[in-house]
Structure 1
Amino acid sequence: MSLYQIRVEDIDSNIVELSSYKGKVLLIVNTATTCFFTPQYEGLQDLYNKYKEKGFEILDFPSNNFKDAKGTIDEINEFCVKNYQTEFKRFKKVEVNGDDESILFTYLKRHEKGLFNQKIKWNFTKFLVDQNGKVIRRYAPMVKPEKIAKDIEKLLNNNK
């Protein structure tokens, strides 16, 4: 199975095939709106602003696994846009661990280098994916988005 065979649901209930992101560098993040790390939305938006024209996308997957993504997806989206002016793609809430875990997060955890299938420990775990759909790196929640910029640039520059 390839990352590009996975389908997810966006906030408008549209099915999105991840194959539509072929050729893009992706940062896939499980997020929450009432978490210690919620202010990272600002840094994520900064990354998006800086690299979106160069082939970079952020895929935001709210998750209530840790009880910090309360409310409907519309309320979550409104919060993010109002408080952090987010413009990157947001998807329906997903489970990132457990029996009802999203196939996307199962895939990401199974294909990350060195940490095979390790549970996601908290919100704002970030997965960097290259233009070919390969999971390059997993970042812990405490890693601020600006610390990922060099890795993003390296991938974007490798594609030239």
Structure 2
Amino acid sequence: MRIDVARLGRRPGAMITRAETAPSPSRIGLDLLAIPVGAPLELDLQLQSVSEGVLVTGTVAAPTEGECSRCLTPFTGDVEIELTELFAYPDSTTEATSEEDEVGHLVDDIVDLEQTVVDAVGLALPFSPLCSPDCPGLCPHCGVALATAEEGHSHEIIDPRWAKLAEFKDD
């Protein structure tokens, strides 16, 4: 996800567009839901020269894989994120006055989008992903997935204070 912007030059207003597919360099996302390694990242970007650097705007779309936080069923989906990131020129005022991780930096006329995409995907994915919005989860007593359990799945729960009397029930 490295883009050479040498042909863009440093003329404010100069712009190039890039629409390409690149493999995911690593697993991008959270514990339960992420873009897998090697998954196709659909990049649709505009790179525009501004006075302080290169402004990258556009979208990144990719397939996701994960498991439901309620029933632990594996599922797949898609994520699409919007990017707007400034990559400062090495000798610009923005680079001199901002923290190291506050703004992206151009190195040898290369824009490296990997960390920008990782950060944006981490914010876009849910912390507790669900296989469906109405997922009932697992049975708290036997652990079976309630979505696939037989209708009326239940367990007879006896209050432990009365459990000893249950022995006399069959007599």
- TM-score, normalised to structure 2, is 0.22
Instruction: Look at both structures and tell me which one has the larger radius of gyration over its CA atoms.
Output: 2
Higher-helix-fraction structure: 1
